[in-house]
Structure 1
Amino acid sequence: MSGKGKILVVDDDRLVLATLTHGLSQAGYEVIDADNGDDAILLAREHRPALALLDIRMEGKSGFDVAAYLRDYLQIPFMFLSAFSDSETLEQVKQLGAVAYLVKPLDIRQIVPAVEAAFASSARAPAAAAPRPAAAEHAQVLEQVTAIAVGIAMHRFSLNRAQALERLKRQAEQEQLTLEEQSWRFVAALETLSAPGQRKA
């Protein structure tokens, strides 16, 4: 079986790593796993996966370090799985250009649709050779912010991906905003709530 595609999964929690690896394998993906950032980079260089799922807080190289390497040297898209949704983390996620941001704890049934959406998105993207015009870069950033907003809504309101997206669309319509504008507002509001002095212990 050729499988749906090759995925690199990185998490320093062995139980999480085993759960993700098993679930994605069952869903038809070829999975390469690593429990630290250094091994993740070596495996990415060797196997050139189509997508990487990265934990953020790890000993040694963080998920952010790995993401920056994948983006700058290998042009491999990535998504983050993290237990953190504070303003600093969200800002770095946006700057790095993750295709999705999912907040732990997560059910594998939530992760698989997010992975499938990421594969569909990368399949639609043109071959990256020529520099992209500013409008295309802007559109990509908006798409990434929407993906982040959907991931946060899934966690905050215990929704699946489709329900979270529908909730954001409904709110956008009510306030006469585009989905992207509503996503920016949603993420910005969370960043305000997550700012020092605003977070719950």
Structure 2
Amino acid sequence: MSKGKILVVDDDRLVLATLSYGLTQAGFDVIDADNGDDAILLAREHRPQLALLDIRMEGLTGFDVAAYLREYLQTPFMFLSAFADEATVTKVKELGAVAYLVKPLDISQIVPAVEAAFARATPPAAPPTAATAASAVAPAATGSEVPATLDITALAVGVLMHRFSLPRDEALARLLSLASADGHSVPEQARRLVDAVELLARPGKG
């Protein structure tokens, strides 16, 4: 029986593979991503119970992903990062992470921390109040539509940066060019791009 569904995000492929394998062996159902853009798309599709996030990544950072998970999916998250400076720690606290682990750590240390984070993130069920009952039947984001309040242009720029290995200014220029060529506004073109990437990210059937 699975201990729970966890989203693991790290732009270092070796670290990602090690985490994914170790957590799978420990009994977790693992969804992995090597960038923040794919992480958000996968989180929206699979609705994990917890996310384990690297912080510093090209495009959307772990902080960006955490903010989205908190705001739109109410998904608890923890960080695994090589950085422990004061500004980073302050931001981690502001976002409300359930745990903050500093690299290097091996998987034998990470698994207990993840199990503890799951315990903190999923407390024993309590009698529902009117507020919790309302939130349970009214998720913040449903279906395949990106919430309008999300900065869809920034998300699309991050996708282009990752897919084509572009710096941010060149990715934005490409988005503007695509919008002009197709006769769309920039936000509309950005939404079309994000929707297309999400469609391609879905697992094939057959």
Q: Matched residues in 2 for 1:116 and 1:130: separation?
A: 28
What do residues 63-117 of structure 1 show as CA deviations (whole Å, max 9, x unaligned)? Answer: 0000000000000000000000001100100000000000001111111111111
**Aligned twin of 2:33:** 34
TM-score by length of 2: 0.61
SS of 2:116's partner is helix
Quick check: 118-127 or 87-96, which moved more? 118-127
Q: May I ask how many residue pairs the two structures share in their alignment?
A: 130
Cα drift, residue 118 of structure 1: 1.2
Cα drift, residue 128 of structure 1: 8.9
Q: Matched residues in 1 for 2:92 and 2:26: separation?
A: 26
**Aligned twin of 2:44:** 45
Higher radius of gyration, 1 or 2: 2
For 1:18-167, list aligned pairs within 5 A.
18-124=17-123, 126=126, 130=131
Q: Does 1:10 align with 2:1?
A: no
* 1:32–1:110 Cα change, 3 Å: same
Q: Matched residues in 2 for 1:62 and 1:82: separation?
A: 12
Q: Matched residues in 2 for 1:5 and 1:83: separation?
A: 26
Cα drift, residue 120 of structure 1: 1.3
Counterpart of 1:112 in structure 2: which amino acid? V
SS of 1:119's partner is helix
Q: Matched residues in 2 for 1:73 and 1:129: separation?
A: 20
SS of 1:124's partner is coil
* 1:14–1:128 Cα change, 3 Å: farther
Structure 1 stretches lacking a partner, 5+ long:
132-201
Q: Matched residues in 2 for 1:91 and 1:118: separation?
A: 19
* 1:129–1:42 Cα change, 3 Å: farther
TM-score by length of 1: 0.62
Cα drift, residue 10 of structure 1: 0.1
Counterpart of 2:41 in structure 1: which amino acid? L
Cα drift, residue 23 of structure 1: 0.2
SS of 2:122's partner is helix
Q: Matched residues in 2 for 1:42 and 1:35: separation?
A: 12
Q: Matched residues in 1 for 2:84 and 2:3: separation?
A: 30
SS of 1:130's partner is helix
Percent identity reads 78
Q: Matched residues in 2 for 1:49 and 1:86: separation?
A: 29
Q: Matched residues in 2 for 1:128 and 1:73: separation?
A: 21
Q: In angstroms, what is the RMSD of aligned CA positions?
A: 1.6
Cα drift, residue 123 of structure 1: 2.5
* 1:93–1:48 Cα change, 3 Å: same
Structure 2 stretches lacking a partner, 5+ long:
133-206
Q: Matched residues in 1 for 2:97 and 2:24: separation?
A: 22
